[in-house]
Amino acid sequence: MDADEFDYVIVGGGSAGCLLANRLSADPAKRVCLLEAGTDDRWIWIDIPVGYLYCIANPRTDWMYRTAAEPGLNGRDIHYARGRGLGGCSLINAMIYMRGQKRDYDEWAALTGDDGWSWDKVLPVFKQHEDSHRGAGHFHGAGGELRVEEQRLSWKILDRFARAAEQAGIPRTEDFNTGNNAGSGRFEVTQRTGVRWHAGKAFLRPVRKRPNLVVRDYSTAQRLVFDGRRCIGVEVRNGRHDGPATWLARARGEVILAAGAVGSPQLLQLSGVGAPGLLAAHQIPVVHALDGVGANLQDHLQLRMAFKVRGIRTLNTMANSLWGKAWMGLEYAFRRRGPLTMAPSQLGVFWHSSPEHATPNIEYHVQPLSLDKFGDPLHRFPAFTASVCNLRPTSRGHVRIVSADPGAKPEIRCNYLSTAEDRKVAADALRLTRRIVSMPALQPYAPEEFLPGAALTSDDDLARAAGDIGTTIFHPVGTCRMGRSAEAGAVVDAQLRVFGLEGLRVADASVMPTITSGNTNAPTTMIAERAAAIVRATPRAAPSA
């Protein structure tokens, strides 16, 4: 097998991998390799924000995973989008810039024993790569690579929903990213003047010509290679027509997994790192027994309530009109404004599903549209969707290989709504949505609930309805979680080193011990920023106890 040698080999060119490649190659004395199964795609629907409708469930930009059949979703399996290409999930995500709550990071610090993961310590890390439209200040950074802007459109129906929330006792907020995101407000997005600003553009393209940075696209990691307990490289399948079919990316220093909450545990398991019983079932020799690999999967389940309205504009009617389509196209072409700049959600609301929750435990994504599911056409009648998710689910799932074949998709089992607490939060959240919609601000438009249906009122009815209308909001985390010891189920320590091995770290959403209270892309980028600083401060990988 042909081999090439580097100081650092990064597996996965998503949000974390692109930032890591930028930061680690800033030292000209270090040779860095970034491996990505996709490529630097310049497809127009990646750049146009509303193009997520074409990118999700498209093998050009999506790994096309599906979950196992979920009992909590009444036996349904669902599409599980994960971004493929340089930029990863930031190529296809909602573009929402959301850090989460102060309590999330203080909890990480307590669980890992490392104050470096506390809110006060990670806030400067967020700011380091931020270029906020707000300018520099206590909570925001300016001049970084990741542009964050206000959305470039408005909808009266969303303004009315925010007013209704206020009438229901939920105040307005001007900034969701101060550590306290309670209230309603407009989401800020990772865009530059109406164009998606993904991690590939932000972090990788500006530095791709560095002589010490090698970016290998169409290159899929097959397995990690070990010398005893030390990871010495990555076996790579070459998807191009030139060069050897497989080659070894050898690491003098470290291999850093940034393949995400599905890809990173999958690669560890294929490489003999994981639960011995699972590895034995697929005839994979055990390099290192680590039961936590692939466990602790957490995700935000969104419950998509939809309401017909009358006498007010929504995207449904515009998108189903030839004149409406023409107007949207012209507005975007000449002004970079209007519905084609839309993130999937424009209005956010964070609140308590019931009084016992000390901080907001649910998040709304409110949309001036309705459809049966992503990829389906918009309904032909005017409507809006109030999608609500439990920010701190207690259900836990897993990611597990089903074969020793690296090309086989792993089993993804989220176990949504598998705990009584999660079912209660779901029922309470649906009731709160109805309360908001019943407020005077929305009554002139005669809102009529058609999903899941106003006749469903009991706890049992609402729990079953949640299973019928629930779907992922694409926030999987936790499958290589940080912690104090492997015996407690953790996979990496607070420095992101894999327990019991040398020369191997994980730096992506999979290391989150608990899911953040909001969208997960910004926290993932922060993890990569902090990981890069840790790696740069460690000339050679030290073994983790």
Angle between helices 420-437 and 156-167 (to 10 degrees): 110
What pLDDT digit, counting tens, does each position of 448-501 carry?
999 999 999 999 999 999 999 999 999 999 999 999 998 889 999 999 999 999
Measured N-to-C along each axis, helices 459-469 and 420-437 cross at an angle, to the nearest 10 degrees, of 90
Mean pLDDT, the chain, whole residue set: 96
- pLDDT for 243 equals 80
Q: Of 140, 198, 300, 475, which residue is the catalytic one?
A: 475
Q: How far is 478 from 397, CA to CA, in rounded Å?
A: 10
Cα(190)–Cα(104) distance, rounded to whole angstroms?
Answer: 22
Residue 123 clears pLDDT 80, i.e. is over it: yes
Other Cβ atoms within 10 Å of 459 Cβ, number: 13
Q: Where does the pLDDT of residue 541 fall: very low under 50, low under 70, confident under 90, or very high at 90 and above?
A: very low
Instruction: Reply yes or no on whether 198 is catalytic.
Output: no
* Structure letter (DSSP) for residue 430: H
Residue 20, pLDDT > 90, answer yes
> What is the radius of gyration, based on Cα positions, of the chain?
23
CA atoms within 13 A on the CB side of 23: 25
Least confident segment among 359-363, 420-424, 496-500, 538-542: 538-542
Report how far residue 187's alpha carbon sits from residue 220's, in angstroms, rounded to the nearest whole number. 35
Which whole number is the average pLDDT over 413-440?
A: 98
Find the farthest-apart pair of alpha carbons in the chain and give their distance in angstroms, rounded: 70
Mean pLDDT of 372-380: 83
Cα(265)–Cα(397) distance, integer angstroms: 13
Could you say which DSSP state residue 91 is in? Answer: G
pLDDT band at 169 (very low <50, low <70, confident <90, very high): very high
What's the rounded Cα separation, in Å, for the pair 369 and 224? 45
pLDDT tens by residue, 255-279: 999 999 999 999 999 999 999 999 9
pLDDT confidence of residue 319: 87
| Position 502 confidence tier, pLDDT thresholds 50, 70, 90 | very high
Count Cβ atoms within 10 A of the Cβ of residue 357 and give its class: 0-12 exposed, 13-18 middle, 19 or more buried: middle
Query: In which residue are the tokens 């597996």 written?
Result: 11
Q: Are strands 183-186 and 146-150 parallel, antiparallel or unpaired?
A: unpaired
In this prediction, residue 321 carries a pLDDT of 85
pLDDT at 15 over 60: yes
How many percent of the chain have pLDDT more than 90? 92
For residue range 60-103, list pLDDT tens digits in order: 999 999 999 999 999 999 999 999 999 999 999 999 999 999 99
Whether 55 contacts 61, CB under 8 Å: yes
The pLDDT assigned to 422 comes to 98
pLDDT for 1: 62
pLDDT value for 543: 45
Q: For 150-163, what is each residue's pLDDT tens digit? A: 999 999 999 999 99
Strand ranges for 137-194 from DSSP E: 146-150, 183-186, 188-189, 191-192
Mean pLDDT of 369-373: 88
Mean pLDDT of 363-371: 96
pLDDT band at 540 (very low <50, low <70, confident <90, very high): low
Q: Which residues pair with 226 in a beta bridge?
A: 231
* Residue 71 to residue 469: CA distance in whole angstroms: 13
The identity of residue 235, as a single letter, is E
pTM, two decimal places: 0.97
Cβ(267)–Cβ(281) under 8 Å?
Answer: no
Q: What is the pLDDT of residue 488?
A: 86
Helix (H) / strand (E) element for 448: namely strand 448-451
> Virtual CA dihedral for 476, 482, 483, 485, nearest 10 degrees?
110
Give φ, ψ of 265 to 5 degrees: -65, -35
AA identity, residue 82:
R
Residue 542 has pLDDT above 70, yes or no: no
Separation CA 516–CA 329 (nearest Å): 36
